Structure 1
Amino acid sequence: MGILNLMPNKEATEQQWLRLIGPQAANFKVQFITTASYTSKRTDPAYLKQKYHAGLPQQLDALIITGAAFGQKKYTEILYWQELCDIMEQTERQAIPVFYSCWAANAALFHKFGIPRVQYQQKVSGVFPHQVNPHPLTQGLPSVCNLPHSRNAESNQVLVQQQPQLNILLHADQAGATYITDQQQNAYLLAHPEYEIDTLYQEYLRDTARGLKPQLPQYDPFSAQPNMAKKEPCWQQHGSLLLTNWFRYIGLIV
């Protein structure tokens, strides 16, 4: 299974996703991937050469594509946009199921279904309750589960709901369609179950330091009490379950 890591902080993102995959990693080999057309400026090239495969490997059973730090950029402004489109098309031709996360999910919905993003006037940041629709991909989740969101735009909700090939599995009033699947076993997750308990608050501090005047993350226990003891948040368990369900759904595990 490949993980195309588009985040600037490669090592932290690796740890987050490997934690969500958890014991299931014993069932397959995990190969981290980076783009061949663009080299990250925030990661040591020697580290990338040692641990990452540049571009899509020839042999791949499944792929995870992480989010990316491109909140307000147009897709065509991304230096590796064409390569990412080629990867999405190649996985479709080869029937390789893909788990798209956050920005990558929005990008895939645009490229594959022509659904554009709608920019928010104010960044959506918080831990929101989601209604869970019964499906093999949501098996084991509570009827309402809390997941963190942090983004400046979302795929046009009307067009998502009107697209007959898409099935909305998780939905939040404050953040719209959050977990979506299509007819090719691909999954699109707009939330951040990989986040630590204080990640939203740290993003709030970062945006404040940049002079962006953000709102405090909504319904986030740590943002409300920054001095509270750090612990594993419930959403990491939900994220692990979502991934395990997807691995089983695509036949990667039994």
Structure 2
Amino acid sequence: MPIKIPLHLPAKEILEKENIFIMDDTRASRQDIRPLNILILNLMPEKEKTERQLLRLLGNTPLQVNITFLKTATYNSKNTSQYHLEEFYQTFSQVKEKRYDGMIITGAPIELMEFEEVEYWDEMREILDWTKENVTSALHICWGAQAALYHHYGIGKYVLPKKCSGVFNHVVLDETEKLLRGFDDEFPAPHSRNTNISIKELEEHPELKILSVSDEAGPLIISSKDGARIMITGHLEYEATTLAEEYGRDRSRGIEIQVPEYYFPDNNPEKKPANRWRSHAHLFFSNWLNYYVYQETPFEWN
């Protein structure tokens, strides 16, 4: 089944070339199907790249999905054209009277700041509170996961001695968990962050459970026990070259950064990296959409 996006969204042409089933507004309006309505709060600087990464995964399931992109009103992105933001994005004031089957809150390159120092933190808190009554299941990625853990559960982050960057091995801790159905016992996933979450604090919180963890990168997938909030500290949505692009960007800025671990062949940045996490990324998003959104959301919101 397709994913429905705006007719002229730049990602449309790229995804169609990858054989992702895309449907624009015109065709979708002729179908009498109850689609899932998914809201994406995109906090990443290069929003078009993140759109493509997420739409690729959301568009490869048997469910029809309507996408609404959300931007912050209290901070204006400097890396995405104003035309793109005005054409394809809404602000919270435009959507807060609606209800959504699912929501994705992305990461943001602000993790070294205290949450209260973030320019749009008050707006973020309002959105996180709003999800409790207006979203069936919210998926939080990287900084979005840290923000949710801090706001909802009082669990903070701590700065790492060096950046956690690379593709690390993870183990599944609960084989009966629906979100991880079909997963291998061990699987790779990319990480790219300077902070981490205490496993001890997660384990001791009565409302949370850790679903997957890495000896080197720490917890990857955390869930509230009711499935209403899923937190993923890594980036299963990343493309094969994303970590390489981040590494090159940091080096060009004069930042002392180690080569991403277990990523480049022979640890050589001159060699092309392979995507070793793609199948688990598709499976993760498919499971989330099916078990925590589609199976749980009402046919009609009252």
- Smaller-chain TM-score range? over 0.9
Paired residue secondary structure (2:190): strand
Q: How does 1:1-80 map to 2 (within 5 A)?
A: 1-24=38-61, 27-55=64-92, 57=95, 58-80=98-120
Give ranges in structure 1 of 5+ residues lacking alignment: none
Paired residue secondary structure (2:101): coil
d(CA) in 1 for partners of 2:199, 2:205: 10
> How far off is 1:203 after superposition?
1.7
Q: Flag the 1:222–1:69 CA change in 2: closer, same or farther, 3 A.
A: farther
Structure of larger gyration radius: 2
Q: TM-score, normalised by structure 2?
A: 0.79
> How far off is 1:227 after superposition?
4.4
Matching residue's letter, 1:127: V
The answer to whether structure 1 residue 121 and structure 2 residue 164 are counterparts is no
Q: Flag the 1:3–1:95 CA change in 2: closer, same or farther, 3 A.
A: closer
> How far off is 1:156 after superposition?
2.3
Q: Percentage identity across aligned positions?
A: 35
Aligned to 1:242: 284
Q: Deviations over 1:3-52 (max 9, x none)?
A: 11000111111001111213238512111111122221222222111111
8 Å contact kept, 1:33–1:53: yes
Q: Flag the 1:20–1:197 CA change in 2: closer, same or farther, 3 A.
A: same
8 Å contact kept, 1:130–1:144: yes
Q: Paired residue for 2:128, among 84, 88, 91?
A: 88
d(CA) in 2 for partners of 1:228, 1:212: 21
Give ranges in structure 2 of 5+ residues lacking alignment: 1-37, 297-302
8 Å contact kept, 1:127–1:218: yes
8 Å contact kept, 1:5–1:32: yes
If asked which structure has higher relative contact order (CA below 8 Å, sep 6+), I would say 1
8 Å contact kept, 2:264–2:272: no
d(CA) in 2 for partners of 1:215, 1:203: 11
The answer to whether structure 1 residue 97 and structure 2 residue 140 are counterparts is no
Q: Paired residue for 1:108, among 137, 142, 148?
A: 148
> How far off is 1:247 after superposition?
1.0
Matching residue's letter, 2:101: D
Matching residue's letter, 1:161: E
Matching residue's letter, 2:164: V
The answer to whether structure 1 residue 182 and structure 2 residue 224 are counterparts is yes
Paired residue secondary structure (2:139): strand
RMSD: 1.9
> How far off is 1:208 after superposition?
2.0
d(CA) in 2 for partners of 1:23, 1:167: 27
Matching residue's letter, 1:236: R
> How far off is 1:251 after superposition?
3.8
Aligned to 1:137: 179
d(CA) in 2 for partners of 1:140, 1:76: 39
> How far off is 1:110 after superposition?
0.6
Paired residue secondary structure (1:194): coil
Q: TM-score, normalised by structure 1?
A: 0.93
d(CA) in 2 for partners of 1:2, 1:223: 40
> How far off is 1:222 after superposition?
4.7
Aligned to 1:191: 234
8 Å contact kept, 2:102–2:293: no
